C-alpha cells in the first residue's frame, strides 16, 4: 500500500526516485512556474526547451520522462502538463497527479511538486495508487510506489486524501470481485467487518428476518438464487450531530436478468451491479473515519438475480416493506424493487435527507454516457450533487420527471407499475427515478443517483484505472460535510 506523505523544503533535494513537476501550457514550449527555478537551473536553464523538443508543451496530463541531472537528488524527472495556468482547477491537478503516479508504478518512491491546491494533488495521487490485485498466479505487474510525497500538502490534507482513497479502494475491490466470490451472504459479512473496523453499528437481516419484516422486493429478486438475500444497515452517530442523512444502495451481486434474461454479450459486467451499495458503504465508513458531525444511516439491499424455478415472474404483484404493491413487468428491472424496500426501511429512521445510489438503468448510459451520473429527486439535492460533482470530478446532471412518463408508470392492478406500461422505453432512466419517487415523501430532500455508466470505466485516464471507479464516494462525502457544517 502506498504511503502518502506531506513534504516541504528544497525540491532539488527531494528524497524520491522520481521527481514529478507540473508545467503550464505555452505556445511553443511549456511555461515553468517560479517554484521550479531550482529544477530548471539543474537542467542548465533549458528544461522548457528540452520538453518542447520532446513534444511536451504543457497540455493537461501530458507526461514526459527525463533522466535527472546530478544537481537533483531524484533519479528521474517526470514533467506533467497542467494546461493553461489561468484555467487550473482541482480536477486538472487530480488527473495530472494520477497520470504521474500511474507512470511511476515499478518505482520505489515519487515526490510531486504542483502549483494549485495540494489537497487535490494528494487526492489524485492517492486514488491513482490503487490497483486491483486480481487472481493471476504469477502476479499482476509493477506495484505502485511505496511512498508518494506531496509538496505543500498539510498533514490534515494528507490524512483526508488517504481516508477518501482507502474508501474508494474498498468500493473498487468489491465491485471488481467475481460474482462467485461475493454473493449476498459473503458481501454482508465483508461489509460488517469493514464497518466494525470503522466503529460503526451493524445490523444484518437474513432471509427469515426479511420475510418477517415484509421486504417483498428483496425477497422476490433474491428468490431465484441459492444464495439468500440480505439487508445490511450501518449506523454512524457522532455526539452532538443535528442532521441525519440516510444513504441507500442497490447491491445486486450478479444480475442475470432473471426470467427476462440478459443477452450473453456483456453479462460478465453484471458482477458490478452492487456498486451502488458498495459506494454508500464506502461513504459511510469515510464519514466515520473523518469524524464528520452528521448522523448517517446506510441501508443496502443485497440479492443475486438468478434464473430458476423459484424466480419471480413478469405479472407478479409484490408488496414492499411500506405496504405498497408493485406490478412486475420485467425481472431485469430488479434494482428498483430492492431499493424500494431499502428506502422504505431508511425512512422509518426519519432522516433529514436521503440519497440512493444504484447502477440502475442502461438508459443512463444512453442519455449521459459513461462519466456523468443521472440525478433525479428534489431540486435542492439534485442541484447540490450537481454542484459538488463539478468540484470532485464526479459529474452529474439533473433529470426531469415528465408528466407523460409519470403517466406510463401507473398500474391497473397495483399501486404502481415497476416499468412503463407496455414496457415502453420512453425516458428509460427517469422511469426508475419516477418509480422510486413513489416511496419517498414529497417534502423530504431526496436524490436518486443512477451510476450505471460512471461506476465502471472501460479505459484508464488520470487517476481512474480500467474497471470499477468507486464513483460517487467522494461526492457523497462532500455532501455529508455540508450537512455537518
Annotate 302-327 with DSSP letters as a single string.
EEEE--STT---TT-EEE-TTS-EEE
Active-site residue, 262 included: yes
Per-residue pLDDT at 234 = 98
Taking residues 190-202, report their average pLDDT: 98
C-alpha distances in Å from residue 66, one per residue of 27, 60, 69, 75, 111: 21, 18, 9, 9, 15
Q: In the structure, what pLDDT confidence band is assigned to residue 140 with cuts at 50, 70 and 90?
A: confident
Taking residues 250-270, report their average pLDDT: 96
Q: In the structure, what pLDDT confidence band is assigned to residue 138 with cuts at 50, 70 and 90?
A: confident
Beta strands in 370-470 (DSSP E): 373-377, 396-398, 416-417, 446-450, 456-457, 467-468
Active-site residue, 336 included: yes
Is residue 282 pLDDT above 90, yes or no?
yes
User: Distance between CA 410 and CA 309 in Å, rounded?
Assistant: 29
User: Distance between CA 229 and CA 221 in Å, rounded?
Assistant: 8
Per-residue pLDDT at 267 = 95
Per-residue pLDDT at 168 = 98
Per residue in 95-136, pLDDT (tens digit) is 999 999 999 999 999 999 999 999 999 999 999 999 998 899
Q: In the structure, what pLDDT confidence band is assigned to residue 309 with cuts at 50, 70 and 90?
A: very high
Taking residues 448-463, report their average pLDDT: 97
Taking residues 205-214, report their average pLDDT: 98
Per residue in 358-387, pLDDT (tens digit) is 999 999 999 999 999 999 999 999 999 999
Per-residue pLDDT at 179 = 98
User: Distance between CA 436 and CA 357 in Å, rounded?
Assistant: 11
Taking residues 389-413, report their average pLDDT: 98
- Please say whether the beta carbons of 221 and 210 come within 8 A: no
Is residue 400 pLDDT above 90, yes or no?
yes
Is residue 241 pLDDT above 90, yes or no?
yes
Per residue in 60-94, pLDDT (tens digit) is 999 999 999 999 999 999 999 999 999 999 999 99
Q: In the structure, what pLDDT confidence band is assigned to residue 213 with cuts at 50, 70 and 90?
A: very high
- Please say whether the beta carbons of 358 and 451 come within 8 A: yes
Is residue 401 pLDDT above 90, yes or no?
yes
Taking residues 233-257, report their average pLDDT: 98
SS3 252: strand
User: Distance between CA 327 and CA 413 in Å, rounded?
Assistant: 7
- The count of residues in the chain is 485
Q: In the structure, what pLDDT confidence band is assigned to residue 45 with cuts at 50, 70 and 90?
A: very high
User: Distance between CA 463 and CA 93 in Å, rounded?
Assistant: 10
Taking residues 308-323, report their average pLDDT: 98
Residues 6 or more apart whose Cβ sits within 8 Å of residue 370: 453, 454, 456, 457, 458
Which of 183, 336, 438, 474 is an active site residue?
Answer: 336
First and final CA of the chain: distance in angstroms?
A: 32
Per-residue pLDDT at 270 = 97
Q: Which three cell numbers stand for residue 249?
A: 444502495
C-alpha distances in Å from residue 268, one per residue of 263, 275, 468: 10, 14, 13
Per-residue pLDDT at 139 = 79
What is the edge-to-edge ordering of all strands in the sheet holding 109-113?
A: 3-7, 147-151, 109-113, 18-23, 76-81, 63-67
Residues of the chain with pLDDT > 90, as a percent, come to 97
Amino acid at each position: 500500500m502506498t504511503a502518502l506523505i506531506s513534504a516541504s523544503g528544497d525540491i532539488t533535494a527531494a528524497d524520491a526516485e522520481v521527481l514529478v513537476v507540473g508545467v503550464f501550457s505555452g505556445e511553443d514550449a511549456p511555461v515553468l512556474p517560479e517554484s521550479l527555478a531550482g529544477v530548471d537551473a539543474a537542467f542548465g536553464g533549458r528544461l522548457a526547451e528540452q520538453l518542447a523538443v520532446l513534444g511536451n508543451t504543457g497540455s493537461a496530463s501530458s507526461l514526459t520522462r527525463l533522466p535527472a541531472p546530478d544537481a537533483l537528488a531524484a533519479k528521474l524527472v517526470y514533467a506533467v502538463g497542467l494546461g493553461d495556468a489561468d484555467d487550473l482547477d482541482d480536477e486538472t491537478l487530480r488527473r495530472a497527479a494520477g497520470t504521474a503516479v500511474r507512470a511511476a508504478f515499478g518505482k520505489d518512491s515519487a515526490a510531486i511538486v504542483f502549483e494549485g491546491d495540494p489537497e487535490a494533488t494528494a487526492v489524485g495521487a492517492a486514488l491513482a495508487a490503487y490497483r486491483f490485485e486480481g487472481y493471476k498466479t504469477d502476479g499482476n505487474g509493477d506495484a505502485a510506489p511505496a511512498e508518494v510525497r506531496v509538496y505543500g500538502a498539510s498533514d490534515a490534507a494528507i490524512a483526508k486524501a488517504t481516508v477518501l482513497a482507502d474508501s474508494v479502494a474498498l468500493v473498487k475491490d468489491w465491485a471488481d470481485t467475481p460474482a462467485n466470490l461475493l454473493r449476498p451472504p459473503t458481501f454482508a459479512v465483508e461489509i460488517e467487518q469493514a464497518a466494525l473496523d470503522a466503529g460503526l453499528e451493524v445490523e444484518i437481516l437474513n432471509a427469515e428476518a426479511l420475510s418477517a419484516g415484509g421486504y417483498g422486493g428483496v425477497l422476490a429478486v433474491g428468490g431465484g438464487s441459492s444464495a439468500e438475500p440480505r439487508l445490511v444497515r450501518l449506523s454512524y452517530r457522532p455526539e452532538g450531530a443535528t442532521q441525519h442523512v440516510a444513504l441507500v444502495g442497490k447491491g445486486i451481486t450478479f444480475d442475470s436478468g432473471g426470467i427476462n434474461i440478459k443477452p450473453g454479450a456483456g453479462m460478465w459486467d453484471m458482477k458490478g451491479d452492487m456498486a451502488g451499495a458498495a459506494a454508500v458503504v464506502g461513504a459511510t465508513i469515510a464519514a466515520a473515519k473523518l469524524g464528520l458531525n452528521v448522523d448517517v444511516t446506510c441501508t443496502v439491499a443485497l440479492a443475486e438475480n438468478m434464473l430458476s424455478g423459484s424466480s419471480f415472474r413478469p405479472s407478479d404483484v409484490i408488496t414492499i416493506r411500506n405496504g405498497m404493491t408493485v406490478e412486475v413487468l420485467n425481472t431485469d428491472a430488479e434494482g428498483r424493487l430492492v431499493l424500494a424496500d431499502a428506502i422504505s426501511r431508511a425512512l422509518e429512521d426519519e432522516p433529514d435527507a436521503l440519497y440512493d445510489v444504484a447502477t440502475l438503468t442502461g438508459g443512463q448510459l444512453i442519455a449521459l454516457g459513461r462519466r456523468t451520473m443521472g440525478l433525479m429527486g428534489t431540486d435542492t439535492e439534485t442541484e447540490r450533487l450537481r454542484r459538488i460533482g463539478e468540484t470532485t470530478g464526479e459529474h452529474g446532471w439533473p433529470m426531469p420527471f415528465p408528466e407523460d412518463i409519470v403517466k406510463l408508470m401507473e398500474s391497473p392492478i397495483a399501486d404502481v407499475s415497476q416499468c412503463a406500461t407496455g414496457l415502453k422505453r420512453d425516458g428509460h432512466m427517469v422511469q426508475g427515478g419516477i418509480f422510486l419517487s413513489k416511496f419517498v415523501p414529497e417534502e423530504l430532500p431526496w436524490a436518486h443517483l443512477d451510476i450505471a455508466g460512471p461506476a465502471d470505466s472501460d479505459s484508464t485516464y488520470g487517476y481512474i484505472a480500467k474497471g470499477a471507479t468507486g464513483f460517487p464516494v467522494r461526492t457523497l462525502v462532500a455532501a455529508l460535510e455540508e450537512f455537518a457544517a
